Structure 1
Amino acid sequence: MPPFRPLATPGNPPPSSTFRRALSSIVLATTLLLTPSLSCLAGTAASPQHPTPDAVTEQAAPAPAQPDDPLARLTAQATSGDPRAQLQLGLLHEQGRGVPQDLRRAETLYRQASAKGNVNAMNQLALLIDSGRAGTTDRGEAVRLLRKAAEKGNGLAAYNLGLMLREGRGTNKDWPRAAYWLACADMLGESRAMKDLPPLLRQLSPEQRKKFNARLVKSPLPPRVQPAVN
């Protein structure tokens, strides 16, 4: 039986490199131009006995300064609902880089980004659940997240799904399906899949190999997701 293998984390590029690219792409929002707002009825002048200097002479308050700190900008973008920023901020909280380690906060951010279809966040949330560090211990949810991301063409999720199926974690052990998703992962550019696929294929019985081959013929490989999507 193939040895137990923990799920793979993103290998290339590393999270820190991804974070730097994400921060470098954050552009300061255009400064809001505020002007005084005068409200008066047409044809009505202010009485000399009751001047209204505030309505005429008050200057507009300066626009709030945008944060110069990259972490503050990333946090602001995540709060505004940007799934890529939510993913990157989640990674920082999970790993305790630049912020205190907060696994519950990381899980929340991953879930927010996953709800918006970010496949990398789905994979990361599945890793958190499978490792036992999430608020839930339902590995079945991790399998569902990986399958959803893999079906959208995420090679790392396809690889991790193959490992889950091979080990029977969160699902029934299914070596033909595991081999299928490892083959998908290889086709999607996840090089680690070829270290696990050949040994697994050698373990398949003739009947299991037929199922594996039939699945490859029946189900086309998921399309590659362009990096710009997430």
Structure 2
Amino acid sequence: MAGKIINKNSAGKEMQNLVEVMQKLREKKGCPWDRKQTHKTLIKYALEETYELFDAIESGNDNDIVEELGDILLQIVFHAQIASEQKRFDVADVIRGIVNKLVERHPHVFGNVKVKDAEEVIANWERIKLANGKKRTKDRFSGIPYILPALLTTFRIVEKSGKENFSQKEIEAKIRKASEKKLNPAELILNSALLLSLRKKNPEEILRKANRKIMLKLNLAEKKEEEKNESRSKKTSAR
């Protein structure tokens, strides 16, 4: 799909400008707040900016998306600058690392591997990732952050392990048992999330949208109640 043509020189120049601004902010005569930050103190901001990007994407507002992507890019450059000052790594190492990963994980584009569909691409990605992970004594689930929202974690477990490792009939049976009060709440939530994941539905997204619908419904009901009360108040005052 064709998109906006990217000027490589312009993109590189703007990235360099950002790196230089961050370097200046971290200098002795720079910003006291920026100089005070560490990897750990910045964690909450990375998480917050990520969720703000979610909101911007769902709103469909390009200006908001650009702003939030910029905030996330700032976090990347910020962490890289802190590490650079400690002579551990810099932003060039970060960029080089992701470029190498993308090339390695897409052998059907940069190599001679043939794939028939997107599912096979994902399978190859996980296979290559697992092969590299074994060198670092990691299992296939090691790439799932512990702090990831629980429902999204379930979705990623199914995605990484493959739906052939789960029986949809057994899961549906467990959910039916819940109506007979033979299943604890945690099992009900887990199996509902597993069932949605097997159907390639992200339970986190579904629940987030459902939460928004509930909030809109409750807000509407509250507004109607306020209007009724206001109307009653006016009628009472008119008597």
Q: Which has a greater percent of helix?
A: 2
Q: What TM-score results when the alignment is normalised by the length of structure 2?
A: 0.25
Larger C-alpha radius of gyration, 1 or 2? 1
Q: What TM-score results when the alignment is normalised by the length of structure 1?
A: 0.26
